[in-house]
Structure 1
Amino acid sequence: MLESNFKLPGQTAFYKGKVRDVYTIEDKLMVMVVSDRISAFDVVLPRPIPFKGQVLNQVAAIMLEATKDIVPNWVKSTPLPNTTIGLKCDTFPVEMVVRGNLTGHAWRTYKTGERVLCGVTMPDGMKENDFFPTPIITPTTKAHEGHDEDISREEIVAQGLVSKEDYEQLEKYTLALFQRGKELAAERGLILVDTKYEFGKIGDTIYVIDEIHTPDSSRYFYAAGYEENQQAGIQQKQLSKEFVREWLMENGFQGKDGQQIPVMTDEFVNQVSERYIELFEKITGRTFVKEEVPAAEVEAKIAAALQSL
């Protein structure tokens, strides 16, 4: 599914994100349809990735179920392979990015000589992909359009984006969720390297929302061979969409003005799809079953699910 355009019972709002189509129902519920769109460098790429929406939605459902003892989550039901219905929360305007290793954006910052990221000081003498002494939280603003921006906890509180009390709770939930995610990954022979969480609030209760521990929000390394690769200076084998970013950079695209998105061949699109399915099976230990619901039936199935809640 590239995109949806439903008229659901009780629908009061619609928002099309980079990857998700989100329907608000009577200002109490949200229907999140996870499309097969793929984004990188905050740009939606021109071709959909088969079964990507199903992978993201089902990994998120499994991981939210496995962490609901840590923090309440927004999910009420998952009526379709790529669709979740849940509570509508007042969303905090920041994403809580947590990093266990010096990788990706953190490494790109570090190798320029910078040692401070989002107000957090990174130790000297580290190599790419090394573990931090303890995980670090490097939040970003949550942009509806354009690029998310790095921001420090001090700036978040000073600007009134999140109260000091709530932000401290978000940090506690973030570290606890990351620890659980690392434990679940270790059971499958993986290292959860970094990830991000989004949170919302209803009354005084904070909920984790959207997706967690998916290949769109997370990076995984294979644990086998990690130490040997670090000692030899060899890149780690990873399961994430970082390889999509790397492919784009190799082809001259980093989301900057004036840059053209390179042509995505059928071969490359299928490769990306296979990588998403590989992560699903590796992180969950389950066999991925490709499910295709006829487009004409999707809206009716979601409407029926809403009426049953």
Structure 2
Amino acid sequence: MTVLYGMAQWQHPAWIDWLYSSAVPGGERLAEYANVFSSVEVGSTFYAPVADQQLMRWFQQVGAEFRFCFKVPQQISHASAQRPWQEVRNDWLAFQQTLSPLVAKLGPTMLQLPGRLAAERLPYILALMDEWQLSTPLSVEVRHLDFFDKGEREAAFLKALSERQVNRVVMDSRPVFSTPAYNESLLDAQQKKPRVPCHPVATATTPIVRYIGHPDLPSNHVWLDQWAVKIKQWLEEGLSPVVFVHSSDNIAAPTLASWLDDKLVANGALPCKQLILPDTLEQMSLI
């Protein structure tokens, strides 16, 4: 078993002349990113449809072991209360059909639900899970505190996921809420990221971690150490974790991912490093 590492994006202005050369056109940077990372969150599908031709261009830029984790469109995940179920279901099946040509390089698809969707809407979540038809994994991220009560409501949710072999997305936003917002990027992260408890429970074979790092990089070690222990446990159980590392502005996210990789090698979870960042002045300036 192994760990897939990824970012929330494959392009960032600060990563030029680090993860990829300034000579590489924007349309080809995914290929350079995929030489370092083994997965990526694709959030663009949440906001608007992506043309089949564009999806295929992305597919062709990465190797056979790379995995895309697409986000489910918001008209499915966030507009359920305003739309008839049959319309949502049709869009859900159509989205799966859009992804089907990419199945050889699909990781867990992410159904990210809004914070207003409470436990009383669990039947809707179950209905979506029961309509999942692809052979690749589905994962669900909930943000309402009902699903973190460590009681009957969370237990019912986890049981439903486990029965269907659907992964729970584990959001760890503890780092960005650990201090007052003392700069613009941290303020932006605190406004946009959900402040939910971190319950690292695996309900299927491909647990997803979304780690939101603090801009004071050394302060992240305390949480990365905890994740190294948990991920080692998952690997020993035969699971295949996917870890997406963010930071408040995402500039240093690759560095944080590399640190986690170091910790997994040090504790014996991995035999050798899987994430080798280019050793450049740009990288060193982040540390």
TM-score band (shorter)? under 0.3
With the length of structure 2 as denominator, give the TM-score of the two structures. 0.22
With the length of structure 1 as denominator, give the TM-score of the two structures. 0.21
* Higher-helix-fraction structure: 2
